[in-house]
Amino acid sequence: MSHPLSIAAIGFWHVHAGDYATSVQEHADTTLVAVWDDDEARGREAAEKFGVEFVSDLDALLARPDLDGVTITTSTDQHHEVMLKAVRAGKHIFTEKVLAPTVAEAEDIVAAAADAGVALVVSLPRLYDGYTQAIEAVLDEGSLGELTYSRVRLAHDGWVAGWLPDRFGDPQTAIGGALTDLGCHPAYLTRLFHRAEPTSISASYGSVTGREVEDNAAVTAQFPGGGLGVFEASVVTTPGAFTIELRGTEATLIYGFGGERLLAKGGAFGDDWQELAVPEAVPGAFAQWVQHIHDGTTADENIRHAIELTRMVVAANESAASGAAVALSPVTASI
């Protein structure tokens, strides 16, 4: 193992590829050594930007004995093939959500990484933000009572302002639209807040821009006991929005409505809105990945979230296509 760890950036299809390359360069124990992309012009441009070598042969790059790990931000349809190549080469993987287009492929990647002793971490950043830590503390102490309803919305103006690449609208490579990419964040937060796996998913998609994939999405998840979780995504919203609404039998929490404040009302919080303290974020997914590499450990919680997120997204896409709710098989693993 190198010190610092030697990392290559695999694919610059996704808009966050540059963010992860920057994370590699800024972390004290990682160094970016090379870039690969199936689009040579895009790959060479990225390599020049980050001041590293462009390698046109992925297999040759992965075969390098001094390469410790890779960030993978290829198109979603390439995830399974590229990640299995990296696993077979013994390279640790930090990757963009969703993990894979299907649950079977996601589970295949996870199993292969575990068998090979490869540290696999998926970028699910909002799990580690301060507001999430504060909300979890309230849920853990039971101040909301039973959570009966949640709504998490994430939206931006990518296809209004023109900064989101058109390739995000290709159903073959992107697999889906606003929900499959941006909607992942509200989806995994919804699952986290309800402390359970959904029993069914019902989705409605719209296309304001006329693309083949959705640019507006609203999904309702039903949870054991009758609780409902609504998660939404849009890439045609100005200004952008990130809001959380949690309503229980005793109290309510809201975040992001008119500012980045966490507010509570009802029950132990009283009859007026009370602002709750939001702590600093805990170490994010990239930092955790580096630590798992050094410790020889696995990111069990992160991986469970990634697999179940894939299950939710696949079910939402199926529901939107069929116009019917999709039942999900019971999952016994804990959150």
89-120 in b/e burial notation, b at 16+ Cβ within 10 A?
Answer: bebbbbbbbbbbbbbebbbbbbebbeebebbb
Q: Is 121 helix (H, G, I), strand (E, B) or coil?
A: strand
> pLDDT digit string (tens) for 275-287?
999 999 999 999 9
Q: Quick one: tokens of 236?
A: 């045609």
pLDDT value at residue 334: 44
Mean pLDDT of 180-188: 98
**Spatial contact of 119 and 293, defined as CB atoms under 8 Å apart:** yes
Where are the domain boundaries for CATH 3.40.50.720 in the chain?
5-118
Half-sphere exposure of 183 (CA within 13 A, CB side): 29
Q: Is 30 helix (H, G, I), strand (E, B) or coil?
A: strand
> pLDDT digit string (tens) for 222-265?
999 999 999 999 999 999 999 999 999 999 999 999 989 999 99
Percent pLDDT > 70 in the chain is 98
Say yes or no to pLDDT of 274 above 80.
yes
> pLDDT digit string (tens) for 122-165?
999 999 999 999 999 999 999 999 999 999 999 999 999 999 99
> pLDDT digit string (tens) for 16-58?
999 999 999 999 999 999 999 999 999 999 999 999 999 999 9
Say yes or no to pLDDT of 176 above 80.
yes
Q: What is the pTM of this model?
A: 0.96
pLDDT value at residue 42: 98
pLDDT value at residue 212: 96
pLDDT value at residue 331: 60
How far apart CA 245 and CA 153 sit, in angstroms, is: 9
How far apart CA 311 and CA 303 sit, in angstroms, is: 12
Residue of 168, 144, 2, 7 whose CA lies nearest to 72: 7
**Spatial contact of 80 and 109, defined as CB atoms under 8 Å apart:** yes
How far apart CA 325 and CA 323 sit, in angstroms, is: 7
Hey, what's the torsion of the CAs at 23, 25, 27, 32, to 10 degrees?
100
Confidence of residue 3 (pLDDT cuts 50, 70, 90): confident
Q: Which CATH number fits domain 126-283+313-327: 3.30.43.10, 3.30.360.10, 3.30.420.270, 3.30.465.10?
A: 3.30.360.10
pLDDT value at residue 1: 81
**Spatial contact of 296 and 289, defined as CB atoms under 8 Å apart:** no
pLDDT value at residue 330: 66
Fold adopted by 5-118 = Rossmann fold (3.40.50)
> pLDDT digit string (tens) for 286-326?
999 999 999 999 999 999 999 999 999 999 999 999 999 99
